[in-house]
Structures are given as structure tokens and as C-alpha cells.
A and B are shown apart, each in its own frame.
Chain A
Amino acid sequence: MRRTRLVAALAVSGLLLAACATLHTTPGWTPRPAAEPDLVLAVDAADPPPPAVADGLDTRLLYTADPGAGVGARWAEIPGNPRFNEELRARVKDAIDAQAAATGVRFRPAADAPGGSRGCAPGAASRPAAEIAADPALTPQTGGPTVTIVCEIAAASGTVLAESLRIVAAVAGEVLTDTTRLYYADTAGEFLTTADTLLTDDGLRTLLARVVQSLKVGAGALEPQMKEDPASFPIEQLRAWFADFSFGADGSLTVRLPEGFSTAELERLADVPPTSTVAVTVPAADASALLSADGKRVQSALASGAPLTLPTAPARGQEDVDCAFFACIALTYDDGPGPYTADVLDTLASRRSAATFFLQGVYVSRYRSLLLRMRDEGHQLANHTWNHPDLRKLPAPEIADQIARTNALIRSITGTTPSMFRPPYGAYDDTVLAAAGLPAILWSRDTNDWQRPGDAALYERAVTLAKPGDIVLMHDVHQSTARMAAPIIDGLLDRGFTLVTVEQILGGTPAAGTATKR
């Protein structure tokens, strides 16, 4: 009976205990904080950084709509930085030469661009290659083989310029190859490197570990640290993965991950976002540890936020221009200087273009400062006689005097002596050529602007009908010609012309006593 009571009591106690027992908690206890991602992770942040502002660059354009070998190339050079310019131009030439070798069609500069745009474009480095090949503004739509070169200014601040150069080879719009190289250059030429040298090998491995850790944190991994050994990844693989990066204004480093980026441990996680939509940002202080010496210089310069500074550079007319590569054209202005010459000079200067001014001696004294501008801004000063007579009607001594007086005055002002002359009305004979003692420069395209044909007609004659190698005749003493200088020069540049002096387009000074063909 006692045992029965004991069992009953135990049972009742157990039930009571079960009914009454409560969970004791520990006030203040909280879970261990989760690991923070090493890097700032932005999903759906595939948008590129805002376009950099880089005024003053020398935008180059080649456009040849040859069905046998089309070329559309645009890139930006740094005036006064031959190292950078030669590097980029060499890549452009190599691509064009490769196409020529493949097609057997020699490249000839043609200035066939449809117009409307030139220079680097935001997004050019990331735009689908097929779009580039199908864009008539960038690629001649010939139905044949084409090579397209586009550029994008990735960053520009202080003395650092970052420019992507992308080369797309295609046949009838079908992309064959697509390569992009991002250059970082000190504008003054102190260094020139490509993006793949800015991160050290150790920096790439560290970056990999931190990217993986950050993605694992984002995916809710239980142990976010990278387990694989970063050193087991080929360094070229890491460079390819981390090729698309940019520096922020605060010195941070943002890396946009490519499609296909993954590691074995990431592939085993369910919630890793598509990496093509992911950008990771390394804070400035941490980014420095990943960078080479050049990388740190770039980081520092871009973090300054200063506008791009460019070195002192020779003007276009003072450069050695390869007119077998660029589609050269020489604008010539006769009869000045005059009241509109300054406007023409302004237009030329703002477009980094050169021209040749055939000056009448009688007006020179009135516009001495303009002659100095012409000289300093790289234009060619040439002789158009003292007062515009028909030289054929003058005896030899007077012909010589017309030329000599004008040359002497120009020399007295500028310190340089014109080496070419243009006979008024284009009128010359053997006597004129012999007496002048200078080569006679005529023209291949007469705009007849002195007849005031109207803006559209003038534009058509100067731009639409122009061909590479043309020497174009205009007169800066006409207000309409000066007013049309901007649209004409823009139109020529948009077509892919490079505006040079007569001396440049002829490759030197012709022999005295000769005349260029009309």
C-alpha cells in the first residue's frame, strides 16, 4: 500500500513538474555577431561608373568603308605625350595590319564616317561586341571583314588618364575577336601601364579571398572564410577575373565581377548571386595594400578629384602627321589676314586643327598679333603676294618684289620666312614660277566661297565632296566663310579627316619653281 502511494506520488509529482516547469533564460545573451563581408558587395550594380570628364584630349578617327577591309577606329590621344600616343597608335595599326594581312587588302585612309560622333564613348568597353559591329557610326556596314576600335575614358583626374581601347574584328557583323586593354597613363609621360599591372600578384590573391568571403557572407555560409588556397589559382586567371575595376573618388577600388566568376566552394552554395551583376568595393585604405607602385600612384591621383591636367603640347600643325595613315586634308585661307581671321583661328584652336594662311603683305601690318597667333598655334604662314596682282601680267622683277616684300614683312614679325606662295587667281606661268623663287601651291578643291554660295553649298563643297589629300581653297576675309569655319571643320573631323597644313599634307616643301596640281 505504501509502495502504491509512493508511485502515485511520483507520478503526480512528475505530471505537476511537467505542468509547472518553465524555461530559464539568460538575460543579455545574444547570438555571436555574424561575420561582416570584407568588401562592400553590390548586387545588380553592373552599371559602370559615371563617365569621366577629360577635356583637351586629341580624338582620332579612322573610317574606311572598303568592302574588302573596313576600318572604323576611334581613340583618344594625350597631346604632348608621345609615349602614350605611340602605344595606342601601334595597337590600332597592328589591328589594321592584321586585317590587311588576312584580307590582302591594303588599308587606305578614306574619311568615310557617317558623321555625328567622334572620340571615346561611355560604355564602349562593356557594350556587346555584336552591337559595336552592327553600329554604322562605329563600323562600316560593308558586309565584309571589318575591324572596329572604340575607346572609353575610364577615369581622368590630376595627371592620370585611364582609357580602354577595345578592338573588335568581325566579318559581316559576326564577331571574330574582341579584346580590350585598359591603359593608365601619367599625362606628362612619367608612366604608362595597363590595368593588369596595377594589382600585385599577392594583391590579386588577397582580393580573391576577400571576394569569396564576401560572396559567402552574402550567401549565408556557415563559415564564410575562403577555404581554398588562393595561391592554387593561376595568376592569369585572377587577372582575367579582376580586370574590370575602377577607382572611386575616395580612393576605393571597385571591381565588377565577370560572368562566370566562381570557385569550387562558391559553386556549392545555393544563394550566390550571378556574379555578372555583382560589384565589390575595397575601401581605400585596404585597396592600397593590393596595389603596385603604379597602382598606388593611380589611386592617389584619381582620389585627388582634380580635373585632368595635360602637358604642354605642340599644335597639330607642328606635329609629324602620317598622312598615309590618317585621312589628311589641308584647309587654306587666302587673302587675309582680315577682320574675321581671329574667329577662324579660334575655331581651329578649339578643334586642334591646322590650316595654312596665304597672306597678302598689304594687310599684314594691321594684324601683326594674328600672325603671331598663327605661328604659335602651329598654322602655316604662306605668301599670297603683296597686293594680289595677276602675276602673269608683271615683269619678273615685280613678281619677285611681290613675293620678297611680303616674305620680309612676315619674317620681321614672326621670325620665320614663308616657304610657299599661292599666285593670285591661281594664275602662273614659267616666268612667275621662276621669279617667285618659291613653289606655287594651288588647290584641289575650290569652294568658291567668295561667291557667297550659301551655307549649305559651302558645306557641301568643303565637307561632303572633300577627299583625303585635298587642298581646299577658302578665304578668311569673308564673314560667311569665318562663320562656317566651325561646321566645316566639325564636319571634316566627323568624317574622319585630320586637318593639317599644306606642308604636312605634301610631306614637305616642294622645290622652288614648281607648282602643285590643281
Chain B
Amino acid sequence: MRVGRILLVTLPVAGVLAGALLLVPPALAQVPSAPLASDSTFTLGARDGTGFVSVTLSAGWTRIGTGPFLPDDRATLVAPDGVYRVELELVPGSPSTPDGADSVPGQVGKELAAVIDAASWSTETLLAGNEVRYTSCPDGGDAVTVAIVDPPRALTAAHGTGTVPDDVRFVLVASAPADEAPRYRTVTADLVSSAVFSRERPAPSPIGEPQS
């Protein structure tokens, strides 16, 4: 009888707790954080800790998601005007794959595989040395730009000895309403151009750490 009473009390509590554990992280992942108060760097770290990438954001950018459950290697950000949304992901992989011959790595790539299947890809070597392969394609009413950024080859040549990892790739999937997308190309360009790869987690800036 006593055991029954205990069960009667604890089972609902356990149910509530389990429900909270199941429902709260996804819910919190959709909650916008507070917008950045100043220009900052934003860092993603590879799951295995082998590398990091940082991008520079201006004041007003908002990360979608809050709380302790956000992944370290992925993030969704929204531009200060709320129109442009970008998913960032640091994924394992080698930049040695020939241009256009591979698929988009990472989770976002899988989600967009059908959309970008027939896309024409461009490749640029950026002033910072990063090499970026990118394409744009329609996705419903949006235009989606997918960019895959590889670390500077010159700095990754000495495997394992350089300060830049050679086994991670930075994937960016940006979307904006199709009719406004051309205006936001510079936003994508600035994100990609500002990407800095490192083996060590960079010193924190105002929001330099993943929000964990």
C-alpha cells in the first residue's frame, strides 16, 4: 500500500520530468537569444574537438536557440533585420575533394540534397586564403545559398603541425526570400570571408563561445 502511494506520487513527477526533458530542448532550440550588443566573433567547435571556426557578426545578429542543450558544432543565426537566416555547421571532412564532385557535407547538406542536386557550383579562393565552393538555388519562396568553406590550403599543408585544422569543413546554408536574396549576397560573403579556422578554441569575444 505504501509502495503504491509512492508510485502514485512519483510516477507523475517522473512523467513530468521525462516530458520536460523531451520537450524542453527542442523548444528552447527555437527560442531566439538576445541580439548581439556589439560586433563579435561566433565560434563553432567540431564534435571531436579537432578544430574550430569563427565568423564575425555585427551587432544585432541573433542566435536561434538558448539553454544548455544546443550543439557545439551547429548554429542557426538570423541577421539583424530578421530576413536573412543562416545555418552554420562545422563538419568533419577533407578539402581535397575535387570541385563539384562531392555532395554537401553535414546535416544541412542532407536536408538540401534534393534542392541542390542539379546546381551549378562556383569556387573562389578568398583573400583570407579560405577556399569556398558555393551555389544558390530556389527552395519554395526562398533562395538558398549553400557554401562550403575549406581552410587555407597553404596553412593546412603540414598535416598535424599547423595551427589550422585540415580535417574540418565549414558549411553555411543561408536563406532569404527569393526576391530579396540578391541584396543579402554580401551578408553571405562577409560570413564566409570572415571565417577563421583554428585548432585551438579562440579566446572568447563578447559572444565568442558557443552558447552552452
Note all chain B residues with C-beta closer than 8 A to A10.
Answer: 20, 24
Stretch touching chain A among B77-85, B87-95, B153-161 = B77-85
Given contacts A26-B60, A26-B80, A31-B187, contact A4 B16 (CB under 8 A): yes
Is residue B183 within 8 Å, beta carbon to beta carbon, of the partner chain?
A: yes
Is residue A32 within 8 Å, beta carbon to beta carbon, of the partner chain?
A: yes
Is residue B178 within 8 Å, beta carbon to beta carbon, of the partner chain?
A: no
- The residue that A26 contacts in the complex, of B27, B81, B124, with Cβ under 8 A, is B81
- The residue that B24 contacts in the complex, of A1, A11, A25, A219, with Cβ under 8 A, is A11
Q: Is the CB of A8 within 8 A of B182?
A: no
Given contacts A29-B60, A221-B122, contact A23 B32 (CB under 8 A): yes
CB-nearest residue of chain B relative to A21?
B31
Note all chain A residues with C-beta closer than 8 A to B132.
Answer: 222
- For the complex, would chain B's binding face be called helix, strand, loop or mixed by DSSP majority? mixed
- The residue that B126 contacts in the complex, of A14, A15, A222, A270, with Cβ under 8 A, is A222
Q: Is the CB of B82 within 8 A of A223?
A: no
Is residue B112 within 8 Å, beta carbon to beta carbon, of the partner chain?
A: no
Note all chain A residues with C-beta closer than 8 A to B56.
Answer: none
The CA-CA distance from A221 to B147 in the complex, in Å, is: 12
A218 CB, nearest partner CB in chain B, Å: 12
B73 CB, nearest partner CB in chain A, Å: 22
Quick one: CB contact mask for B133-144 with A, threshold 8 Å, 1 for yes?
011100000000
A163 CB, nearest partner CB in chain B, Å: 42
Is residue B185 within 8 Å, beta carbon to beta carbon, of the partner chain?
A: yes
Q: Is the CB of B122 within 8 A of A23?
A: no
Note all chain B residues with C-beta closer than 8 A to A17.
Answer: 27-28, 31
The CA-CA distance from A29 to B190 in the complex, in Å, is: 15
Quick one: CB contact mask for A263-307 with B, threshold 8 Å, 1 for yes?
001001111000000000000000000000000000000000000
Is residue A220 within 8 Å, beta carbon to beta carbon, of the partner chain?
A: yes
CB-nearest residue of chain A relative to B176?
A31
Q: Is the CB of B32 within 8 A of A220?
A: no
Given contacts A4-B13, A15-B23, contact A222 B189 (CB under 8 A): yes
- The residue that A223 contacts in the complex, of B30, B126, B183, B187, with Cβ under 8 A, is B126
CB-nearest residue of chain B relative to A7?
B17
Given contacts A26-B60, A269-B122, A271-B122, contact A14 B81 (CB under 8 A): no
The CA-CA distance from A19 to B23 in the complex, in Å, is: 12
Is residue B59 within 8 Å, beta carbon to beta carbon, of the partner chain?
A: yes
Q: Is the CB of A220 within 8 A of B136?
A: yes
Note all chain A residues with C-beta closer than 8 A to B84.
Answer: 31
Q: Is the CB of B183 within 8 A of A31?
A: yes
Note all chain A residues with C-beta closer than 8 A to B82.
Answer: 23, 25
The CA-CA distance from A269 to B99 in the complex, in Å, is: 11
Is residue A177 within 8 Å, beta carbon to beta carbon, of the partner chain?
A: no
Quick one: CB contact mask for B1-31 with A, threshold 8 Å, 1 for yes?
0000000010001001101100110011011
B99 CB, nearest partner CB in chain A, Å: 7
B199 CB, nearest partner CB in chain A, Å: 25
CB-nearest residue of chain B relative to A4?
B13
CB-nearest residue of chain B relative to A1?
B9
In this complex, the interface size class of chain B, counting residues with CB under 8 Å from chain A, is 35 or more
The CA-CA distance from A32 to B187 in the complex, in Å, is: 7
- The residue that B19 contacts in the complex, of A11, A225, A268, A270, with Cβ under 8 A, is A11
CB-nearest residue of chain A relative to B100?
A270
Note all chain A residues with C-beta closer than 8 A to B54.
Answer: none
The CA-CA distance from A34 to B62 in the complex, in Å, is: 23
Q: Is the CB of B62 within 8 A of A24?
A: yes
Note all chain A residues with C-beta closer than 8 A to B35.
Answer: 24-26
CB-nearest residue of chain A relative to B19?
A11
Is residue B96 within 8 Å, beta carbon to beta carbon, of the partner chain?
A: no
Is residue A18 within 8 Å, beta carbon to beta carbon, of the partner chain?
A: yes
Q: Is the CB of A18 within 8 A of B184?
A: no
In this complex, the interface size class of chain A, counting residues with CB under 8 Å from chain B, is 35 or more
Q: Is the CB of B27 within 8 A of A34?
A: no
Is residue B49 within 8 Å, beta carbon to beta carbon, of the partner chain?
A: no
The CA-CA distance from A33 to B9 in the complex, in Å, is: 62
Q: Is the CB of B79 within 8 A of A31?
A: yes
Quick one: CB contact mask for A225-240 with B, threshold 8 Å, 1 for yes?
1010000000000000
Q: Is the CB of A14 within 8 A of B67?
A: yes
The CA-CA distance from A265 to B123 in the complex, in Å, is: 8
Q: Is the CB of B31 within 8 A of A18?
A: yes
Is residue B113 within 8 Å, beta carbon to beta carbon, of the partner chain?
A: no
The CA-CA distance from A227 to B127 in the complex, in Å, is: 8
Note all chain A residues with C-beta closer than 8 A to B81.
Answer: 25-26, 29-30
- The residue that A33 contacts in the complex, of B30, B64, B186, B192, with Cβ under 8 A, is B186
Quick one: CB contact mask for B105-139 with A, threshold 8 Å, 1 for yes?
00000000000000011111111000010111000
Note all chain A residues with C-beta closer than 8 A to B27.
Answer: 14-15, 17-19
The CA-CA distance from A19 to B28 in the complex, in Å, is: 9
Q: Is the CB of A29 within 8 A of B78?
A: no
Note all chain A residues with C-beta closer than 8 A to B9.
Answer: 1
CB-nearest residue of chain B relative to A10?
B20
Note all chain B residues with C-beta closer than 8 A to A451.
Answer: none
The CA-CA distance from A219 to B20 in the complex, in Å, is: 49
The CA-CA distance from A200 to B75 in the complex, in Å, is: 51
Q: Is the CB of A223 within 8 A of B32?
A: no
Note all chain B residues with C-beta closer than 8 A to A225.
Answer: 127
B126 CB, nearest partner CB in chain A, Å: 6
Given contacts A223-B126, A268-B124, contact A29 B16 (CB under 8 A): no
Q: Is the CB of B124 within 8 A of A15?
A: no
Is residue B188 within 8 Å, beta carbon to beta carbon, of the partner chain?
A: yes
B143 CB, nearest partner CB in chain A, Å: 11
Q: Is the CB of A24 within 8 A of B32?
A: yes
B interface residues, Cβ below 8 angstroms from A:
9, 13, 16-17, 19-20, 23-24, 27-28, 30-32, 34-35, 59-60, 62, 64, 67, 78-82, 84, 99, 120-127, 132, 134-136, 147, 182-190, 192-193
- Some 24 contacts from A to B, beta carbons below 8 A apart, are A4-B16, A7-B17, A8-B16, A10-B24, A11-B16, A11-B19, A14-B20, A15-B24, A17-B31, A21-B32, A25-B80, A31-B79, A32-B186, A219-B122, A220-B136, A220-B185, A222-B134, A222-B189, A265-B124, A268-B99, A268-B122, A268-B123, A269-B122, A271-B120
Listed from nearest, the 10 A-B pairs whose CB atoms lie closest are: A11-B20, A18-B27, A26-B60, A270-B120, A26-B80, A29-B80, A222-B189, A25-B82, A4-B13, A14-B24
